Amino acid sequence: MKNSSIWSKPFYYVIVFAVATISLYPIFLMFLSSFKTSAEIFKNPLGLPTSFSLDTYRTLWSKIPFDQYFINSVIVSVTSVVLVVLFCSLAAFYIARFKFSWNNAIFFLFLLGMMIPIKLGIVPLFILMRDLGLINSLWSLIFMNIATGTPLTMLILTGFFKTMPMELEEAARMDGAGNLRVLWNVLLPLMRPALGTVIIVNFISAWNDFFFPLIFITEKAKMTIPVGMLSLFGEHSADWGSLFAGLTLASLPMMILFLVASKQFMEGLTAGALK
Amino acid sequence: MKKSNKFLFLFLFVMLFTLVLAACSDNSDDTSTNSNNSNSEDNGKKSEATEKVKLTIGSWRTEDVAKYEKVIALFNETNPDIEVEFNPTKNTEYNTVLNTALQAGEGPDIFHLRPYAAGLKLAGAGFVEPITDLKGLDQFSDDYLAASRGEDGKQYGVPLNISSTQFFYNKKIFADQGLEVPTTWDEFIEVNEKLLAADITPIAMGTKESWLLSLTHGIVGPGVVDGNAFADKLVTGEKDFTDPAFVESIEVMNDLKKYFPANSEGLGMEDIRTLFAMEQAAMFPLGSWEIPVVSELNSDLDFGFFPMPSKTGNQTVTTWVDGSFAINANSKNKEAAKTFLEFLTTKEFGELFVEEFKMISALPGITSNDELLSELSKTVETNSTPYYWVINFVSGDPTTKSVLETELQGMYLGEVTPAEVAQKVQENAEISFEPFK
Amino acid sequence: MMTMTVQTASTKKERKKGKRWTIHLFPIPALIIYALFVLYPILAALSYSFYSFNGFSRESFVGFNNFITLFTTEPYGSMFLNAFKNNVLYFILQMIVMNGLAFLLAFIIYKKVKGAEFFKIAFFLPRLLSVIVVGFLWKLILNPNFGTLNMLLGKLGLEELQRAWLGDPNTALVSIILVNCWFGLGFGVLIFLAGFQSIPVELVEAAKLDGAKGMTMLRKIYLPLMVPSILIMTVLTFIQSFEAFELVYAMQGSMGEPYFSTDTLAVFFYRLAFGSSTSGSSDAIGLGSALATVLFFFILVCTMVFLKFMNKKEVQM
């Protein structure tokens, strides 16, 4: 690949530029529209706003306890991601690197959760949460995120654990490493691409989930950003400028977080590949 | 190395088990106050509030948060010991959230009950506290109380507001085009034709969201079937949906399509509201609740309403009770909740409601300063016809109302004929509507 | 593990290392949480499909009656068929458009274009948005009268292509699926890229030394080695296509409007189990559970077949 000149591949660039434009345009539109009035959006959707005033944002900020929601969202998302990746790494290691006769069955059991809408079980789930005393507790959301994130995480991690060459593990075991050390010091560092993927995916779904907070959380002090955003739709159904500002506010933390963290992730991706 | 591994292990399991144990023991300690035992952050606030009774209200009216704060403030003037929190859920998710909590024996102390069969189903399941003897209920008209009266004859809710649907019209466009408000069906069609000839979209209407279609039929239908006379016979089973007049009402709906905006099959609620508010269309067939929303969108818009002119000469607005407030049968604060519901029957509340919410109160004799609204309230008292799709046809699976909506949408897309629409509606009603069986 | 114990000389010591009983604790935390918060509620709810309901109260055990009703009584029978067809189209289009494009893009990035970092982020950004936001934005872009798409077509002189994308039954479903592709593309790129980057560099270099180029490289080296990630994406896309709900619900409501043209099995399930808030609810919990059960077994069987295939491929490699 080092032989092929970049400029001999204009085809590549046309494709990535076109797709990137389509990917980014709606987000750009959301941001731009948040500075417009309803009339402007309606009459001139493609144009630039007449003025860039932050008033809409200020009003929204004063109306919604955004900082509280933000803290809750961070607590829920970070805890969920750390735990789900930790638990699933252990479980996937067990399933992928050992050949116990029941491993396929366990793996399959984990996948079942993907095949059925969890909404179906919402009433038994609500009763369970109530009996555990977790209604209006952020733990209800954390447990749900871990549980619902498990199938996909298991699928990805098990798949990648299986592709790791056995020789590395054998070498470590020769040196006297136990299971945890093999997992932690030998395999996981090589799994960075896959780990990066599952961390991102779990973080996003934890951050954006609105169904479970809607059901399990009724106290305003425990609500997360998506629920706050959902109420915007009712309050500002006619005021599109405010609505877009709200959507931007709700999406921005996730984007900033991703942009900051992406360097780490992406470096992890390449580093993992070069090993 | 080995040791640190074991520690990590231990740590994991200890953490997991403490979590589970903590969760369980929490529960056995104080099952009565589930909502208080989770996190300790705001313990301070809670101990302060323990002397007060705290009521929560569930609703689908997320747009009314600020308005309910004023209602609660007024309530607290006379009831300072009862703390009330209005805690609405987005309209489309409200049923799911409320039903789930109710089935688990939880939920808000007071909640907004959907009108008629949709809400009474909750009463039928025993989730709603009967309030037949509540002070102040006797003021309401029997029709309004019927919206939240169970099959057992018990009253389950305090009716809050009356919704009415009718045509709104842009006064400026009408004046510019030299148009009068139509008082007969022929005049109505003439107005549409003239607007069309002047290159103005006559009716802001879209068929993408099917609930708008039953709503429009509720408005336009009485123009063809002689409103109350047909509705009265329909609900007793004397007439049904095979009646030629009903079929004609569907045909008329189809014919109106030429007065809709371009691409009406792709337009939804926000689009048609915006079209009307931005003066891109002359008329807007919708409900009274749209008045404040349209005004917010364009405060300069000068608009009025007219009742639907009919072929038989009478004119009607279509009305129903839009919501009632009810008490959770599992509430721990039923007495306080009753106090709040009683407050909802007072004149003070009624006046504040009309003033703030810009809606028609279900309480008798409440007048509004808002010209449009007070005129509409008067018309509701004199010229109303029942919106029978919501009042009588929301049972069955799918409901008769949703069959009408789906098939009307199919009709506008050219998939079915008006006669087939009527037939499918009839077939469904024969299964679920008692008088047709 | 097995091969290893055979190979090593000090077998006793190795067995002690590799097969300590503590290894069986590894899957326990994930299993407990998953069983408690996913398996238990779902199994509890699946049992509903064998009962008749009156409103919210479970009445009597009716065996397979709900299943029979679902397939033989109108309108359920034709709704099921219609929704199933839509799900199939969902899967096919996503496989071709989303996964095809994602594979290509991952390959391009793997080949080190300039600005690869930027492109990776750009492709992935949509995936960060909440589905509600995605639905709202695209409803606006696809709006027939002031949406960007129709305006753009107008400016390009392609007026005859303008239409009510989401209101026309001929284009509504395809529009929704393409929005879903837009949304999920970045995830596909990530998975495929991780796959490309896991290919041992030595293999690629060796093939190059042998003079392999372009399509030969793709066919002989990349495709076979990418089989695990391709299979993962296929399974995921399959499950996700047959569970398609959020986006349809956000953009077209619980009736799969217009005229059921965007209805999917999961939306149909939601409508049965939770009713439609705009049309009066009609909670048919028994039927809804029966539908979910059918959906579950269908996906289960298909996934089993996929996974069998997956294991076989791995053995060959």
Q: What is the mean pLDDT of residues B391-411?
A: 88
Chain A neighbors of C315, CB-CB under 8 A: none
Q: Would an 8 Å CB–CB cutoff place B316 in contact with chain C?
A: no
Q: What is the mean pLDDT of residues B121-148?
A: 90
Interchain CB distance below 8 Å, B270 and A237: yes
Please, which residues 15-44 of chain C have a Cβ atom closer than 8 Å to chain B?
22, 25, 28-29, 32
- pLDDT tens, position by position, C22-33: 888 889 999 999
Interchain CB distance below 8 Å, C280 and B390: yes
Interchain CB distance below 8 Å, A126 and B101: yes
Are A91 and C26 in contact by the 8 Å Cβ rule? The answer is yes
Interchain CB distance below 8 Å, A19 and C289: no
User: What is the nearest CA distance from A273 to chain C, expressed in angstroms?
Assistant: 5
Domain boundaries, given as residue ranges, for chain B: 53-160+322-345, 164-320+385-436
Q: Would an 8 Å CB–CB cutoff place C170 in contact with chain B?
A: no
- pLDDT tens, position by position, C91-132: 999 999 999 999 999 988 888 778 888 898 899 999 999 888
pLDDT at C14 over 50: no
User: What is the nearest CA distance from A231 to chain C, expressed in angstroms?
Assistant: 12
Interchain CB distance below 8 Å, B96 and A215: yes
Chain B neighbors of A238, CB-CB under 8 A: 270, 273-274, 277, 293-294, 296-297
Provide φ and ψ at C106, rounded to 5°: -60, -40
In the prediction, which pLDDT does C53 show? Answer: 80
| pLDDT band (50, 70, 90) for residue C225 | confident
Q: Would an 8 Å CB–CB cutoff place C164 in contact with chain B?
A: yes
Q: What is the mean pLDDT of residues A30-51?
A: 80
- pLDDT tens, position by position, B241-280: 999 989 999 999 999 999 999 899 999 888 899 899 989 9
Q: Would an 8 Å CB–CB cutoff place B13 in contact with chain C?
A: yes
Which residue on chain B is closest to A43 by alpha carbon?
B278
Q: Would an 8 Å CB–CB cutoff place A134 in contact with chain C?
A: no
- pLDDT tens, position by position, B93-120: 888 889 889 988 889 999 999 888 888 8
Interchain CB distance below 8 Å, A156 and C191: yes
- pLDDT tens, position by position, C246-290: 899 989 888 888 999 999 999 998 888 887 655 445 557 888 889
In the prediction, which pLDDT does B199 show? Answer: 94
Interchain CB distance below 8 Å, C25 and B13: yes
Residue in B102, B118, B264 closest to C281 by CB: B118
Which chains border C (3 or more CB–CB pairs < 8 Å)?
A, B
ipTM over cut 0.95: no
Q: Would an 8 Å CB–CB cutoff place A261 in contact with chain C?
A: no
Let me know if the fold of B53-160+322-345 is the same as that of B164-320+385-436: yes
pLDDT at A113 over 90: no
Residue in B5, B90, B100 closest to A231 by CB: B90
pLDDT at A72 over 80: yes
Which of B29-38, C282-291, C306-315 has the weakest average pLDDT? B29-38
User: What is the nearest CA distance from A168 to chain C, expressed in angstroms?
Assistant: 11
Q: What does the longest C-alpha to C-alpha distance in chain B come to?
A: 94
pLDDT at A20 over 90: yes
Which of B12, C250, B131 is CA-nearest to residue A226? C250
In the prediction, which pLDDT does C98 show? Answer: 96
- pLDDT tens, position by position, C227-246: 878 888 898 899 999 999 98
pLDDT at B212 over 60: yes
pLDDT at C1 over 70: no
Which chains border B (3 or more CB–CB pairs < 8 Å)?
A, C
| pLDDT band (50, 70, 90) for residue B432 | confident
Specify the CATH number for B53-160+322-345; select among 3.10.450.40, 3.40.50.360, 3.40.1050.10, 3.40.190.10: 3.40.190.10
Number of A to C CB contacts under 8 A, please give it: 289
- pLDDT tens, position by position, A177-219: 788 888 888 888 877 777 887 888 899 999 999 889 988 998 8
Chain C neighbors of A29, CB-CB under 8 A: 137, 140-141, 148
pLDDT at A75 over 90: yes
- pLDDT tens, position by position, A217-231: 988 888 898 888 877
In the prediction, which pLDDT does B49 show? Answer: 46
Q: Would an 8 Å CB–CB cutoff place C169 in contact with chain B?
A: yes
Question: Which CATH class, in words, describes the domain spanning B164-320+385-436?
Answer: alpha beta
Residue in C22, C57, C257 closest to B409 by CB: C257
Q: Would an 8 Å CB–CB cutoff place C118 in contact with chain B?
A: no
| pLDDT band (50, 70, 90) for residue B74 | very high
- pLDDT tens, position by position, B51-63: 688 999 999 888 8
| pLDDT band (50, 70, 90) for residue C9 | very low
Q: What is the mean pLDDT of residues B122-133?
A: 90
In the prediction, which pLDDT does B36 show? Answer: 40
Please, which residues 48-67 of chain A have a Cβ atom closer than 8 Å to chain C?
none
Q: Would an 8 Å CB–CB cutoff place C228 in contact with chain B?
A: no
Q: Would an 8 Å CB–CB cutoff place C274 in contact with chain B?
A: yes
In the prediction, which pLDDT does A2 show? Answer: 43
Interchain CB distance below 8 Å, C282 and B397: yes
Question: B128-129 and B315-328 as β-strands: parallel, antiparallel, unpaired?
Answer: antiparallel
pLDDT at A233 over 80: no
Which of C157-166, C204-213, C266-275 has the weakest average pLDDT? C204-213
Q: What percent of chain B has pLDDT over 70?
A: 88
In the prediction, which pLDDT does A265 show? Answer: 60
Query: Mean pLDDT over all residues of chain B?
Result: 85
| pLDDT band (50, 70, 90) for residue A176 | confident
- pLDDT tens, position by position, B285-295: 999 999 988 98
Residue in A112, A119, A201 closest to C270 by CB: A119
Number of B to C CB contacts under 8 A, please give it: 133
Residue C277, both tokens:
């808030």
Q: Would an 8 Å CB–CB cutoff place B294 in contact with chain A?
A: yes
Query: Mean pLDDT over all residues of chain C?
Result: 83
In the prediction, which pLDDT does B13 show? Answer: 45
Higher-scoring residue by pLDDT: C66, C277: C66
pLDDT at A274 over 50: no
In the prediction, which pLDDT does B15 show? Answer: 46
- pLDDT tens, position by position, A118-170: 888 888 899 899 999 999 999 999 999 999 999 999 988 888 888 777 887 88
